[in-house]
Structures are given as C-alpha cells and as structure tokens.
A and B are shown apart, each in its own frame.
Chain A
Amino acid sequence: MALILVKYGTDHSVEQLKIKSAKAEDKIVLIQNGVYWALKDLETPAKVYAIKDDFLARGYSEEDAKVNLISYSEFIDLLESEEKFIG
C-alpha cells in the first residue's frame, strides 16, 4: 500500500516510528544509514528491503543481511509500483 523509506540508523526515534507504523501491505526500504536496521530482526508485518550498495559499502557481506537486498534500479521499480509514500 505504501512505500516507507528509512534512511537513518537504529537510534533514530523517527525511523523507529516509521517502522512501527508499517502495515502488512507496506514495503519498507532501508537506504543510506538506514541499512543498519538490516542487521536486526525487525518486528514488522511489512516486507523489508535494503539497498545492497549502501549495505556492502559499510563493510558488511550479503550474508549479514536479515532482509532482502536490492539494487537502486529495483528500488526505483518499487517506488513506481506504490501509490503512497512515507519517508
């Protein structure tokens, strides 16, 4: 239903609020420092993705990610497929 963009790390209260607000039909994309959330087991009914380049650039390997990793072009496809945006 909505695409939710998370760009700050796990200590950021606003990003906690966004993730908490997500519904099952939503898609969450972790971008920039938001990829640190990909190291955690997120409690959300929404589908969660992280930008692969942003994740690997911070010294992690694909195996470290607990969410699906996507490219920037796949992120654009997700953006276009959702009618609503929260970010």
Chain B
Amino acid sequence: MKKLLFVAYQSPVGSIWVNEAFRTAFGMYGEDLEPSVLLIEEASVALSKNTKPERLGLLPLSICHKYIKNYGTKVYAVKQHLEKYRVKELDENFGAEIIDESNLSEFLHSFDYVIFM
C-alpha cells in the first residue's frame, strides 16, 4: 500500500486548505492508499483549541474530527512551527504527533508521495 502525505501550509482562517487537505486524505481510503496529514507553518494554528474559522463564516475544523477518529488518520505537526505561531493548547481531537524540524527530511522521505497544498 502506497503511503501519501498531504502537507497543508496555509492558515485555516482566510483559506480552506486545511479542511481541503483532510477531505482529500479521507478520499484516499477508497483507493487502497494510506494517507496522513502534516500541518506546517501557518496551518499549525489549525491545531489550536481556540482557532475558530467559523467566526468568519468559514467551515469549522471540527468537521474533520469524526473522520480522523473513524479512519485513524495520522496527523502530524512540527514543534518549531507550533512555537513560531504560538499555538498553546492543542485540540486533542486531532491526535497530532509532534515531530522535530530536524527530522523533517527523513519524515518526508518516508512517504511514497508528498503533496504540498
């Protein structure tokens, strides 16, 4: 089974790419592919408990939570990027694994396909 990684780097507020990354990832389960999602740079704020795109009429991040649990989708974030964007309280519904920036190269190379979106 091929391993795919979708990397979202844009803020979930002002763009819809975090939700799009998850929606695309969930669609892969029907294709015998194993998707994961990595949130980097501005997309790191998606993991904050206090981030609410719905305040601006955008889709809530919580719509992903049920599917993340159902599919067991692995979610990753980078420690240094969480610090850079001052993400304090992580929303546990993402079940995110935090990786160190120094391991990012190895991490990216552990997937067959890495799609930045």
Residues of A bordering B, CB below 8 Å? 1-2, 13-14, 17-18, 20-23, 83-87
Considering the complex, give the chain B residue whose CB is closest to the CB of A25: B109
Query: Are A23 and B115 within 8 A (Cβ)?
Result: no
Residues in A neighbouring B105, C-beta threshold 8 A = 20-23
Main SS of chain A's interface residues? mixed
- Separation of A2 and B114 alpha carbons in the complex (Å): 10
Among B9, B114, B115, residue most surrounded by chain A Cβ atoms (within 10 Å) = B114
- Separation of A87 and B4 alpha carbons in the complex (Å): 12
Sample of 11 more A-B contacts, CB < 8 Å, known A85-B112, A86-B113, A87-B116:
A2-B108, A13-B41, A14-B40, A20-B105, A21-B105, A22-B105, A23-B105, A23-B109, A86-B108, A87-B114, A87-B115
Query: Are A18 and B116 within 8 A (Cβ)?
Result: yes
Query: Are A86 and B112 within 8 A (Cβ)?
Result: no
* B30 CB, nearest partner CB in chain A, Å: 21
Residues in B neighbouring A87, C-beta threshold 8 A = 114-116
Residues in B neighbouring A2, C-beta threshold 8 A = 108-109
Chain B interface: which size bin?
A: 10 to 19
What are 13 A-B residue pairs whose CB atoms fall within 8 Å in the complex?
A2-B108, A2-B109, A13-B9, A14-B40, A14-B41, A17-B40, A17-B104, A21-B105, A21-B109, A84-B109, A84-B114, A86-B114, A87-B116
Residues in A neighbouring B104, C-beta threshold 8 A = 17, 21
Selected contact of A14 from candidates B111, B113, B116, CB within 8 Å: B116
Query: Are B114 and A83 within 8 A (Cβ)?
Result: no
Selected contact of A85 from candidates B7, B40, B114, CB within 8 Å: B114
Considering the complex, give the chain B residue whose CB is closest to the CB of A21: B105
* B115 CB, nearest partner CB in chain A, Å: 7
- Separation of A86 and B105 alpha carbons in the complex (Å): 11
- Separation of A22 and B106 alpha carbons in the complex (Å): 9
Query: Are B9 and A14 within 8 A (Cβ)?
Result: yes
